[in-house]
Amino acid sequence: MNRVTIESKFVSNEALFELKRAHELKIAKDLNRFLLEVEFPWKALGKTLTHFVEGIVQKIPLEERIQGHVSPQAYIENRDSVVICEGAVVEPGAYISGPTFIGPKVVVRHGAYIRGSVYIAEGAIVGHSSECKGSILLPNAKAAHFNYVGDSILGYDCNLGAGTKLANLKINHSNIILRLDNKKVDSGLKKFGAILGNRAQTGCNSVTNPGTIMLPEVVLLPNQTALGILKR
């Protein structure tokens, strides 16, 4: 798919994630407020996301942070900086490091690797051999099979096909540049994966280059490589 330039209003958090419908989509108030305040998705990543997740964790009393079902064979590092809400399930062999927030009805499957600075909203899935760091998964988002989700945001009901990789670092380690309003915009980030609007999907073994944005309901076909802003 070719690079395109697009008006910035179409890649705001409100446009990508339908934040006016937050209650209907079960987006938690704290997360909704955070996304509205930063306005654009790349501004919600990096240190900003780390501070947000740390703040969410600290609001919850230490003895109440692990409420879900966690297998004794799962490993939680920095346990005091991890929240696992009631109704969540963490299967044997999963690895979780904080700061991480895992919402209600989330499933973290066997072999999942959650590296910290991660917010996983209600009903989302991080599956077998999927790695997630520095990212937000909105309600019902799925990274279910052999996925890499680094410094990215998956919108409501997004689905990553098996083997999808959201690459987050350029070969030359320079900042990720976006093309908005017919000009180049420096994201200020060296690590910036992909932003998937609500209900966007990827086919098996697809790859997104750093800084890719998929507008709501866009489909990336199996084995394709994406770059820039993808629209229907």
pLDDT above 90 covers what percent of the chain?
A: 93
User: pTM here?
Assistant: 0.95
* Predicted confidence (pLDDT) per residue in 77-96, tens digit: 999 999 999 999 999 999 99
The residues that are catalytic are: 145
3-class DSSP state for residue 62?
Answer: helix
For 8-230, give the CATH class.
mainly beta
**Confidence at residue 182, expressed as pLDDT on a 0 to 100 scale:** 83
**Rounded to 5 degrees, what are φ and ψ at 157?**
60, 25
Which residues are bridge partners to 131 per DSSP? 113, 148
Name the residue ranges covered by the structural domains of the chain. Answer: 8-230
